[in-house]
Amino acid sequence: MSGGQTLNLFLNIGFPIALLVFAYLIGSLIERRHFANIRKRESELRGFPVTTFERLPERWQVSSAGLVSGSIVVSLDYFKRVIAGLRAIVGGRVKTYEPLLERARREALLRMTEDARRAGYDAVINVRLETSRLANAAGNGNSTAGVEMLAFGTAVKLERR
Amino acid sequence: MRYVPREPRDGINVSKTHALVEAGTLVAGFSLIFVLIVLVLVFMVELALLFVSPEAEARVFENWQPGDLVAVDADDRRLAEVDALTQRLARHWPDSPYRFRVAINDSEKPNAMAFPGGLIIVTTGLLDRVQSENELAFVLGHEIGHFRNRDHLRMLGRGMLLTLSLSALGDGSGAGLGLTIADLTLRGFSRRQEADADEFGLTLVHAEYGHIAESTRFFERVADEFGGDHGYYEYVATHPSPEDRIDEIRELGRQRGWSESGPPVPLQW
């Protein structure tokens, strides 16, 4: 009777709360470290031009060009998912998702830029970002396993800038 | 044109609100809203009860059986015994509009439940564990107490309205929080109901036997069997924990001056 109730109460309340706390602690640790890592790599790539120009600026003399891309797949943690679920009832800015997508955008751009620099290019123009949602394991479209953020552009090697 | 290198800035696409502040605001706000909703539902059920007389309920549900819960075994002699005992106890509630019926549900968990129309369902787990007629009489008296206080309709009504309200939230985290809050809010009400049903049950037992010996024996045994691990969440448990319940029943007996000793009647099976 009571033993069963205690177990039920633990399963119904205690376990989700423990999972929430765990997900929040680990999730925010990973997020902090990722942002620190992103900032460090961004400052290393500071002088590398990444633009959304569709055409080359007139004075640029290009010796070679090629496609570069960078992508990242990110998933929500349980804490963000639960809080966003509550937010979805009343609507408004889904504040817990914002840092996640910000990380994804900047990471994808960084990977693309790093790819371009490694290949010996001097700049990337016509940069585009695309997002696609990954189906969850059940494939029923009710939830998502995560999103892919893809950054791609035309890398150019310059003779004279 | 000159290219001016510049790093991306933080804080443009990300809200300044800390994740925990966002979480706290949402959880606290929705908890409050859900508590209010549950209180409104409870009130609506109380209101609805005013429009359904016990006589009308007894008439409408006279022959109703929830098929999936009842496992009728004609050979089980215990069914006739439990039924006879129920009728004897019900005689001490002369104003009852119900024609009480008993059914046995095949389940290991010791339990007894009250259903509309005077149907009492006991589990085989309960029948396997009771060791005297007096123990069983108190459990049955408790269920009859639920009928007198109309708790069986309350539980049914609340359950239906709650399911309906929560289904509007889908199966997201809103529904999960709503269910938890509803559960905790209703516990307060159900504890009161259980105590009231205990009181009426004990009255019936005393009227039948002239003493209340053995009334708490069943709970003592259940408490032993399931160990002491229910202490943790005692304050929110649906039924008072067996120990508390035993204490309350004894205290009630003392207040009324009912004898706690008397010869137990053995079971006939």
Mean residue pLDDT across chain B: 86
Nearest by CB to residue A16, choosing from B8, B176, B233, is: B176
Q: Name the residue range of residue B144's domain.
A: 19-256
Please compute the mean of the pLDDT values over residues B165-174 and round it to a whole number.
81
SS3 for B89-100 is HHCCCCCCCCCC
Which residues in chain A come in under a pLDDT of 50?
1-3
> Angle at which helices A15-44 and A98-118 pack, to 10 degrees?
40
pLDDT at A29: 95
Per-residue pLDDT band for B234 (boundaries 50, 70, 90) equals: very low
pLDDT at B236 (0 to 100): 40
Which helix (DSSP H) or strand (DSSP E) does residue B221 occupy? helix B217-225
For an interface test with B, which of A35, A89, A98, A143 has the most B Cβ atoms less than 10 Å from its Cβ?
A: A89
The whole-number pLDDT of residue B239 equals 59
Q: Determine which of B56-60, B104-108, B154-158 has the lowest per-residue pLDDT on average.
A: B104-108
Question: Would you state the pLDDT for residue B65?
Answer: 81
pLDDT, position B38: 93
Residues of B with CB under 8 A from a CB of A: 1, 3, 5-8, 10, 13-15, 17, 19-20, 22-23, 26-27, 30, 109-111, 169, 172-174, 176-177, 179-180, 183, 222-223, 226-227, 229-230, 232-234, 236-239, 241-242
Beta-bridged to residue B114, according to DSSP, are B120
Closest alpha carbon to B268 in B109, B137, B73: B137
Q: For position B110, what pLDDT does the model report?
A: 82
Confidence of residue B89 (pLDDT cuts 50, 70, 90): very high
More confident: A137 or B216? B216
Phi first, then psi: what are they for B86, rounded to 5°?
-60, -45
For residue A28, give the CATH number of its domain: 3.30.110.70
**Average pLDDT of the segment spanning B153-182:** 86
Task: Give the range among A18-27, A68-77, B218-227, B231-240 with minimum mean pLDDT.
Answer: B231-240
Nearest residue to B91 (alpha-carbon basis) of B144, B130, B152, B132: B144
CA-based nearest distance B239→chain A, Å: 8
Of B25-34, B159-168, B215-224, the one with minimum mean pLDDT is: B215-224
Q: How confident is the model at residue B49 (pLDDT cuts 50, 70, 90)?
A: very high
- pLDDT tier, B92 (very low <50, low <70, confident <90, very high otherwise): very high
Mean of pLDDT values over B14-29: 91
Asked if A12 and B20 come within 8 Å (Cβ–Cβ), the reply is: no
Q: Which chain A residue is nearest to residue B179, measuring alpha carbons?
A: A12
Smallest Cβ–Cβ distance between A57 and the set B1, B234, B238 belongs to: B1
Give the number of domains in chain B: 1
Whole-complex ipTM: 0.76
Residue A140, domain extent: 2-160
Q: Measure in Å the smallest separation between the Cα of A87 and chain B Cα atoms.
A: 7
pLDDT of residue A160: 63
Q: Is residue B103 part of a domain?
A: yes
Helix then strand count (H, E) for chain A reads 4, 3
pLDDT at B12: 84
pLDDT at B106: 85
pLDDT at position B72: 64
> Does any CB of chain B come closer than 8 Å to the CB of residue A140?
no
Give B257 to chain A, closest Cα distance, Å.
29
pLDDT at B9 over 90: no
Q: How many CA atoms lie within 13 A of A67 on its CB side?
A: 5
Lowest mean pLDDT among B61-65, B94-98, B113-117, B143-147: B61-65
Asked if the Cβ–Cβ distance from A96 to B236 is below 8 Å, we say no
Percent of chain B with pLDDT over 90: 44
**Confidence at residue A12, expressed as pLDDT on a 0 to 100 scale:** 67
Query: Over the stretch B130-152, which tens digit does the pLDDT of each residue have?
Result: 899 999 999 999 999 999 999 99
| Rounded Cα distance, B263 and B214, in Å | 9
Between the alpha carbon of residue B118 and those of residues B102, B134, B143, the distances in Å are 8, 21, 10
Q: Which helix (H) or strand (E) holds A159?
A: strand A144-160
Residue A3 to residue B174, Cβ atoms within 8 A:
no
Residue B231: the pLDDT is 40
Count of the separate structural domains present in chain A: 1
Query: Is the CB of A9 inside 8 Å of chain B's CB atoms?
Result: yes
Contact B226 A3 (CB under 8 A): yes
Residue B136 belongs to some domain of the structure? yes
Which pLDDT score is estimated for B8?
77
